[in-house]
């Protein structure tokens, strides 16, 4: 067991692929007690029976107490919300009682999740994470990629910097590198702009990330979407961590064959996270008076594609 948790209780809200990565790693820290709240009963049962197992880029099993009944959650020092963004509201409404004296972080995709969490919780942490995984069977998650996580106080209803640092240290001690920042917006918007410029285009064209970047036509569209996102970020006074356009070209080399998760969602007739990605850029743009016509059009086309998935 690693150390560094100082007797902390953490609840993962939404223990799917990404939530499971956090839960299993945190459970490696000897004085951290990890709970998981998830609505998928077979996954919950498997975790309670045999622990939460990670394979792939990690090979660990964590002792996690899982439940599908939010009222069973004890008071927690921290929450980490890892649901898909369209389920944030339902998840935090159900579980907020556990965080009456705690702080809650979002490690979800897109923007707007912290705002929803802050409607129900007093101390909120803005977060962005890059590790990825997928559920292989109940209780088992394949970790596809390692990567950093950034946490910072959510400005309108902030957790203290001490609390942010404490959570970051615990996650890092568990084996997932996490940085505490006074302003985590740069990291979040860098990932947001990257995802919003690439994921929906992959879904609309069915091209892998590498091929999307090879075609001058589609590469140009990526840059147009990035430019709108950067303009909105700039109007919010956010300094990006890195240039999303450069991340796009880097990913074209290292993730050439990657297929957009949004395309997988559409093909599986699941709702996409478009509202938190391009929809988020559009909403913040509208508030700031920054036009985002390309992001609007792409968001509407993805909405149409979602309807097509639901076509009988």
Partner 1 sequence: MPAELRRVCVVGAGAIGGLLAAHLSRVCEAWVLTRRPQHAEQLNQEGLRVSGKHEFVGRVHATADPSELPDFDLGIIAVKANDLDNVGLRLTGLAPQATMMTIQNGLGAEAVIARHGDWPLISSVTFMSGTRRSDVHVEYELDTATWLGPWAGTGTDQATVDAVAALISESELNAEAMSDLVPAQWSKLIFNSAINSVSALTELPHVAAFIDEDEASSLGHVVRSLVHEGKAVAAAAGIELYEDPWEMNMLAVRRGETAHSDYAHLPSMLEDVLAHRPTEVDFIAGALHREADRLGVPVPVTAAAHRLIKGKEASWRAEVKA
| Residue numbers at the binding site for partner 1 (CB under 8 A) | 201, 204-208, 211-212, 215, 217-218, 220-221, 224, 274-275, 279, 282, 293-294, 296-301, 303-305, 307-308, 311
Shortest Å, Cβ 287 to partner 1: 13
> Given the DSSP bridges, would you call strands 60-62 and 52-56 parallel, antiparallel or unpaired?
antiparallel
* Inter-residue contact 89 to 116 (CB < 8 Å): yes
Estimate to the nearest angstrom the gap between the alpha carbon of 202 and the chain centroid: 19
Q: Of 105 and 221, which CB lies nearer to partner 1 in the complex structure?
A: 221
Shortest Å, Cβ 117 to partner 1: 22
Encoded tokens for 218: 């589609």
Q: Rounded to 5 degrees, what are φ and ψ at 136?
A: -100, -35
Shortest Å, Cβ 267 to partner 1: 11
**Dihedral of CA 30/48/81/72: which sign?**
negative
* Inter-residue contact 104 to 81 (CB < 8 Å): yes
Q: Of 163 and 262, which CB lies nearer to partner 1 in the complex structure?
A: 262
Provide the 3-class DSSP secondary structure of residue 38.
coil
Q: Of 151 and 221, which CB lies nearer to partner 1 in the complex structure?
A: 221
Shortest Å, Cβ 275 to partner 1: 7
Q: Of 187 and 298, which CB lies nearer to partner 1 in the complex structure?
A: 298
Shortest Å, Cβ 286 to partner 1: 8
Q: Of 167 and 266, which CB lies nearer to partner 1 in the complex structure?
A: 266
Shortest Å, Cβ 258 to partner 1: 14
How far are the Cα atoms of 85, 100, 162, 189 from residue 123, in angstroms, in the given order?
19, 9, 12, 21
Q: Of 47 and 221, which CB lies nearer to partner 1 in the complex structure?
A: 221
Shortest Å, Cβ 269 to partner 1: 12
Q: Of 15 and 221, which CB lies nearer to partner 1 in the complex structure?
A: 221
Shortest Å, Cβ 97 to partner 1: 32
Closest CA to 56 of 140, 130, 129: 140
Query: What whole-number distance in Å separates Cα of residue 63 and Cα of residue 60?
Result: 10
Q: Of 42 and 293, which CB lies nearer to partner 1 in the complex structure?
A: 293
* Inter-residue contact 238 to 228 (CB < 8 Å): no
Q: Rounded to 5 degrees, what are φ and ψ at 56?
A: 85, -120
Tell me which H or E stretch contains 292.
none
Query: What whole-number distance in Å separates Cα of residue 219 and Cα of residue 262?
Result: 18
> CB neighbours (10 Å) of residue 4?
16
């Amino acid at each position: 067991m690693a150390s560094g948790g100082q007797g902390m209780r953490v609840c993962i809200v939404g223990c799917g692929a990404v939530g499971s990565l956090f839960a299993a790693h945190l459970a490696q820290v000897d004085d951290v007690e990890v709970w998981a709240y998830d609505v998928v009963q077979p996954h919950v049962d498997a975790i309670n029976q045999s622990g939460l197992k990670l394979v792939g880029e990690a090979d660990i099993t964590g002792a996690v107490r899982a439940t599908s009944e939010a009222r069973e959650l004890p008071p927690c020092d921290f929450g980490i919300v890892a649901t898909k963004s369209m389920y944030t509201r339902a998840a935090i409404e159900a579980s907020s009682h556990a965080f009456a004296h705690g702080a809650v972080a979002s490690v979800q995709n897109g923007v707007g999740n912290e705002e929803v969490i802050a409607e129900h919780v007093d101390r909120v942490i803005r977060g962005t994470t890059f590790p990825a995984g997928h559920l292989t069977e109940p209780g088992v998650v394949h970790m596809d990629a390692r990567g950093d996580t950034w946490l910072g106080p959510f400005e309108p209803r902030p957790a203290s910097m001490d609390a942010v640092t404490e959570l970051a240290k615990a996650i890092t001690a568990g084996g997932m590198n996490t940085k505490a920042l006074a302003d985590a917006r740069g990291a979040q918007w860098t990932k947001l702009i990257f995802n919003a410029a690439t994921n929906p285009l992959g879904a609309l064209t069915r091209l892998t990330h590498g091929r999307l970047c090879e075609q001058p036509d589609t590469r140009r569209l990526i840059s147009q979407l990035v430019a709108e996102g950067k303009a909105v970020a700039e109007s919010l006074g956010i300094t990006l961590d890195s240039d999303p356009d450069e991340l796009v070209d880097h990913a074209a080399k290292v993730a050439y064959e990657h297929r957009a998760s949004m395309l997988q969602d559409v093909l599986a007739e699941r709702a996409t996270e478009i509202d938190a990605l391009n929809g988020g850029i559009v909403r913040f743009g509208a508030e700031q008076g920054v036009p985002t016509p390309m992001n609007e059009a792409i968001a509407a086309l993805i909405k149409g594609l979602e309807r097509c998935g639901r076509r009988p």
